[in-house]
């Protein structure tokens, strides 16, 4: 009886070994197949007409050109409506012709729904740029990650740009000499985590440097230049020369504010008639204005660095490698988020 049991155990071990070996061979064959074909990547952008996002798209297109025959990015416009982005995602998942999905969420509250849909099809997915509300949703699927920035850092660095300008006193920001910075805040979206955090930490950073502040107005301008220009014009007509600084959650709104200021005779090159304006992203148009002394500074969010991270991590996921293989990236404390650094962008 004992010999029969041993014989059965031996046969069972052999069968399991054969099955495991077969599975490994299949996995290796699948991996070789994947490496031998073009990787099809669906890139769902929250809106095409966002300045920073348009530069991320250009950076991905540059990567595709440099890696001809290896990757194909197909871009989809969410038109700033989650319902449109959801429909696009549903169609892509139904066709099942994408090897990887890169999702720049319209509504960050939809994180869990989006991840669950991708998970059902077992397709690798990376959320990026717009901070997801539920990091737990990303943790629930081992083929999903988030790549973005440290949300508070942009606000902190904006505050440092303002502080540097205040302390340099050239020209004086404190035009009424009351020791208080009177400012207008142009906010991206009222319910967006990044907008809320940038708003909070930019002022906290200024206050922590010892500068008192007074908010004259806060306007939600949805990251949009034209909305910011219209809002700023209305505020200037109300507030007159009380405004000493304009802090915008992104460069598009900062540029809109500058266009409004210029219609009122400010920020045209005369330092005595300049109101301090700061943004985030350091897009080329903002860099030019900063070099000309028309804009005080910005916070660089490098679109090339983001595109490179999306490509490298995404490729690893498609090839069934460790997500950080052959990269210098590290996860933050969540274990699923990669944080790319911001940098102050100020006149040289």
Q: How many CB atoms lie within 10 A of CB 86?
A: 18
Q: How many CB atoms lie within 10 A of CB 196?
A: 18
pLDDT of residue 36: 66
**Residue 328 CB-density burial (10 A; 0-12 exposed, 13-18 middle, 19+ buried):** exposed
Kindly state the DSSP code that residue 203 receives in the 8-state scheme: H
Q: What tokens were used for 214?
A: 């007074």
Q: How many CB atoms lie within 10 A of CB 306?
A: 23
Measured CA to CA, the distance from residue 195 to residue 158 in angstroms comes to 13
Q: What is the dihedral of CA 88, 339, 305, 156, to 10 degrees?
A: 110
Q: Which of 136, 142, 135, 134 is nearest to 118 (CA)?
A: 142
Measured CA to CA, the distance from residue 278 to residue 245 in angstroms comes to 8
**What rounded mean pLDDT belongs to the chain?**
91
**Per-residue pLDDT in tens (0 to 9) along the chain, 348 residues:** 444 444 544 454 445 444 444 444 334 334 433 466 899 999 999 999 999 999 999 999 999 999 999 999 999 999 999 999 999 999 999 999 999 999 999 999 999 999 999 999 999 999 999 999 889 999 999 999 999 999 999 999 999 999 999 999 888 999 999 999 999 999 999 999 999 999 999 999 999 999 999 999 999 999 999 999 999 999 999 998 999 999 999 999 999 999 999 999 999 999 899 999 999 999 999 999 999 999 999 999 999 999 999 999 999 999 999 999 999 999 999 999 999 999 999 987
pLDDT of residue 19: 45
Residue with token string 């988030």: 146
* Predicted TM-score (pTM) of this structure: 0.86
pLDDT of residue 348: 72
Distance from CA of residue 312 to its chain's centroid?
A: 16
Residue with token string 């990376």: 126
Q: Are strands 298-300 and 343-345 parallel, antiparallel or unpaired?
A: antiparallel
User: What DSSP element (H or E) covers 59?
Assistant: helix 51-66
Which domains occur in the chain, in start order? 37-149+304-345 (3.40.50.2300), 152-300 (3.40.50.2300)
Q: Which residues contact 10 (CB under 8 A, 6 or more apart)?
A: none
pLDDT of residue 169: 82
Task: Give whole-number Cα distances, 107 to 61, 133, 222, in Å.
Answer: 25, 9, 13
């Amino acid at each position: 009886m004992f010999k029969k049991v041993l014989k059965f155990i031996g046969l069972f071990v052999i069968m399991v070994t054969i099955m495991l070996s077969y599975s490994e061979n299949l996995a290796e064959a699948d991996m070789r197949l994947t490496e031998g074909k073009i990787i099809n990547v669906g890139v769902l952008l929250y809106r095409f007409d966002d300045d920073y996002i348009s530069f991320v798209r250009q950076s991905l297109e540059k990567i595709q050109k440099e890696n001809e025959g290896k990757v194909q990015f197909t871009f989809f416009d969410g038109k700033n409506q989650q319902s449109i982005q959801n429909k696009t995602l549903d169609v892509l998942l139904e066709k099942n012709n994408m090897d990887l999905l890169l999702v720049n969420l319209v509504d960050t509250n939809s994180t869990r729904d989006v991840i669950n849909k991708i998970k059902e099809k077992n397709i690798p997915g990376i959320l990026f740029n717009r901070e997801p509300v539920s990091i737990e949703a990303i943790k629930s699927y081992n083929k999903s990650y988030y790549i973005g920035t440290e949300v508070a850092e942009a606000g902190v660095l904006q505050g440092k740009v303002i502080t540097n300008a205040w302390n340099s006193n050239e020209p004086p920001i404190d035009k009424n000499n009351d020791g208080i910075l009177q400012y207008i805040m142009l906010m991206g979206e009222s319910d967006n985590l990044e907008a809320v955090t940038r708003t909070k930490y930019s002022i906290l950073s200024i206050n922590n440097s010892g500068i008192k502040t007074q908010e004259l107005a806060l306007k939600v301008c949805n990251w949009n230049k034209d909305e910011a220009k219209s809002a700023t014009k209305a505020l200037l007509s109300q507030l007159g020369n009380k405004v000493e600084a304009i802090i915008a959650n992104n460069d598009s709104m900062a540029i809109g504010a500058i266009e409004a200021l210029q219609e009122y005779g400010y920020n045209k090159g005369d330092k005595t008639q300049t109101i301090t304006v700061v943004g985030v992203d350091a897009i080329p148009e903002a860099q030019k204005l900063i070099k000309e002394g028309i804009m005080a500074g910005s916070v660089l969010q490098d679109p090339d660095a983001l595109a490179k991270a999306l490509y490298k991590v995404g490729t690893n996921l498609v090839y069934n490698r460790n997500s950080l293989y052959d990269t210098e990236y590290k996860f933050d404390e969540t274990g699923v988020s990669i944080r790319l650094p911001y940098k102050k962008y100020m006149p040289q």
